[in-house]
Amino acid sequence: MAARLDVRKTYKLYVGGKFPRSESGRSYEVTDAKGRFVANAAKASRKDARDAVLAARAAFAGWSGATAYNRGQVLYRVAEVMEGRHAQFAEEVARAEGLTAAKARAVVDAAIDRWVWYAGWTDKVAQVVGAANPVAGPYFNLSVPEPTGVVAVLAPQASSLLGLVSVVAPVVAGGSTCVVLASERRPLPAVVLGEVLATSDVPGGVVNLLTGVTAETAPWLASHEDVDALDLAGAAPLPGEDPTVDWGALEAAAAATLTRVVRPAGSGASGEADGAVEPDWTVLPDGPRRVLAFMETKTVWHPKGR
């Protein structure tokens, strides 16, 4: 009997809870770690990025208004659904990153556990960083963290799944919504993650995933007036390669509307620009700093009296 011809998947964008192709009609060739053709991914355009920001903004009121307990359960649900697709993720990660099957499985384990870790943070951050302030007067004075709004995320280029989850989970844990540029050369695990998000009670528009050329799309997001914060993790190039993205220029573009910027990791002195490096995402985060990076502090005053 002849071997069965497998049914291949069309890898598309994930925007507003739906899976559109790029409005531009463009795609680009994605290869595995050895350079062999795997699939054509959608090559997102400026218009796709703007549509994604609209979707993220539309989803913000509902997601930020949900209780922290509810958000925690939704994030935990993502981990549950990922677990069911463990083998599929391992295969995608192995192909994209050139890992052995065992190593790819370990990466997927860590990515699932990272969702669980951040799921637990949703209803803790306000207690950990909030404050009842002892002002010198007869006032009730309380500070609480609130989500920043719409966050544009440049996902890490090397760590296509664990790195991606490590930057997306904290944004949504805090109640913000996001537009994510997946790893340019390793985008397929992100598309599969979109399929998981679509089926795990995450409201459409809370996470929007774009594949394509980072240097082409990132400037539109950095300068977008309705983007409140920008995570430049993915400005770091693949190991051994030259950067394709000038993170300083993106930060400068973000300055036009005082967009909050999380710089890529790097080790330069204060006063000089330096290269961005991708951190080791297998290391457990040292606290909720990535959650807090996308939260604002609101302070409420009220007089006390009889």
Contact status: 131 vs another protein (CB under 8 A): yes
Enumerate residues 6+ apart whose C-beta is below 8 A from 41. 11, 27, 28, 30, 187, 188, 191, 211, 212
Contact status: 199 vs another protein (CB under 8 A): no
From 10, 67, 199, 299, residue interacting with another protein (rule: CB under 8 A)? 299
Contact status: 283 vs another protein (CB under 8 A): no
Residue closer to another protein by CB (options 284, 300) is: 300
Contact status: 280 vs another protein (CB under 8 A): no
Helix, strand, coil shares, percent, the chain, to 5: 40, 20, 40
Residue closer to another protein by CB (options 109, 226) is: 226
DSSP assignment of 40-106: EEE---HHHHHHHHHHHHHHHHHHHHS-HHHHHHHHHHHHHHHHHTHHHHHHHHHHHHT--HHHHHH
User: Of 19-38, which residues contact another protein (CB under 8 A)?
Assistant: none
Question: Burial, 237: exposed, middle or buried (Cβ in 10 Å; 0-12, 13-18, 19+)?
Answer: buried
From 50, 139, 243, 282, residue interacting with another protein (rule: CB under 8 A)? 139
Pattern 253-272, binding to another protein, x per CB under 8 A? -xxxxx-xx-x--x-xxxxx
From 6, 7, 8, 137, residue interacting with another protein (rule: CB under 8 A)? 137
* DSSP tag of 125: H
User: Of 141-170, which residues contact another protein (CB under 8 A)?
Assistant: 141, 143, 148
H helix or E strand, kind and range, residue 215: helix 214-222
Separation of alpha carbons 114 and 127, rounded Å: 21
How near is the Cβ of 252 to another protein at its closest, in Å? 4
How near is the Cβ of 146 to another protein at its closest, in Å? 8
Residue in the block written with tokens 């397929």:
188
How near is the Cβ of 285 to another protein at its closest, in Å? 9
In the numeric block, which tokens belong to residue 33? 């770690």
Is the separation of the CB atoms in 164 and 155 below 8 Å? yes
Residue closer to another protein by CB (options 7, 258) is: 258
From 70, 249, 277, 282, residue interacting with another protein (rule: CB under 8 A)? 249
Residue closer to another protein by CB (options 26, 57) is: 57
Coil, helix or strand at residue 221: helix
- Tell me the window of 30-38, 129-137, 157-165, 186-194 that interacts with another protein (CB under 8 A): 129-137
Question: Which residues share a beta bridge with 131?
Answer: 143
From 58, 99, 126, 129, residue interacting with another protein (rule: CB under 8 A)? 129
Contact status: 287 vs another protein (CB under 8 A): yes
Measuring CA to CA, which residue among 143, 150, 128 is closest to residue 289? 128
Contact status: 124 vs another protein (CB under 8 A): no
DSSP assignment of 255-283: GGGT-EEEPPP----TTS--------TTS
How far, in whole angstroms, is CA 294 from its chain's centroid? 11
Contact status: 284 vs another protein (CB under 8 A): no
- Tell me the window of 21-29, 83-91, 185-193, 294-302 that interacts with another protein (CB under 8 A): 294-302
User: Which residues of this protein are in contact with another protein, per CB under 8 A?
Assistant: 128-129, 131, 133-137, 139, 141, 143, 148, 228, 246-249, 251-252, 254-258, 260-261, 263, 266, 268-274, 286-289, 292, 296-303
